[in-house]
Amino acid sequence: MSRNLRIPAGKLGTFHKVMDAVFGIGTLLVLYSLFSPASFYSSGYRISMLAGAIAFLTLFCFHVAGVYKNWAGADIVSECNRIVAAVLVVFGSLLILGYVFKVSSIYSRRVVLLWIFIWPALMCVERVFLRKFYFNSFFETSMNKKAVIAGTGKLGAALADWIEENPWAGVKVEGFFDRKDTSCESSDPCLGNISELPAYVRKKNIQLVYIALPMREEALLEGLLRDLEDSTAQIYFFPDISIFTKLMGGDVAQVAGQTAIALRSSPFEGINGVIKRTEDLVLGLLILTLISPVMLVIALFIKLTSKGPVFFKQWRYGLGGEPFQIYKFRTMKVLEDGYEFVPATKSDPRITRFGHFLRKNSLDELPQFINVILGSMSIVGPRPHAVKMNEEYRTLVPGYMLRHISKPGITGLAQINGYKGEVRTEDEMVKRISFDIMYLQRWSVFLDLEIVFKTVFKFAWRQ
Q: Residue 10's pLDDT is what?
A: 47
Residue 387 to residue 60: CA distance in whole angstroms: 47
Asked whether the bond before 189 is cis by omega within 30 degrees of 0, the reply is yes
Domain chopping of the chain, boundaries: 9-138, 145-240, 271-457
Q: State the DSSP string of 26-84.
A: HHHHHHHHHH-HHHHHH-HHHHHHHHHHHHHHHHHHHHHTTTTTTGGGS-HHHHHHHHH
Q: What is the pLDDT of residue 375?
A: 92
Please identify every stretch of the chain with a pLDDT value under 70, giving residue numbers as ranges: 1-13, 40, 69-75, 132-143, 168-169, 180-187, 240-264, 334-348, 459-463
Parallel/antiparallel/unpaired status of strands 171-178 and 190-193: parallel
Model confidence pLDDT, tens digit, residues 97-141? 888 888 877 888 888 889 999 999 998 888 887 776 655 554 454
pLDDT for the residue 296: 94
- Look at residue 104 in the predicted model and tell me its pLDDT: 76
CB-CB neighbours of 60 under 10 Å: 14
SS3 state of residue 131: helix
CB-based burial of residue 218 (10 Å sphere; 0-12 exposed, 13-18 middle, 19+ buried)? exposed
| C-alpha span between 206 and 215 (Å, rounded) | 24
- The answer to whether the CB of 286 falls within 8 A of the CB of 459 is no
Strand partners, 237: 211
The contacts of residue 451 (CB under 8 Å, 6+ apart) are 380, 411, 412, 413, 415, 416, 439
Residue 35 contacts residue 111 (beta carbons within 8 Å) = yes
145-240: CATH topology is: Rossmann fold (3.40.50)
d(CA 407, CA 375): 9
Q: What is the DSSP string of 270-300?
A: THHHHHHHHHHHHHHHHHHHHHHHHHHHHHH
Per-residue pLDDT at 345 = 59
DSSP 383: P
> Which residue type sits at 200?
Y
DSSP state of 405: G
In this prediction, residue 463 carries a pLDDT of 56
Antiparallel, parallel or unpaired: β 190-193 and 208-211: unpaired
Distance of CA 334 to the CA centre of its chain: 40
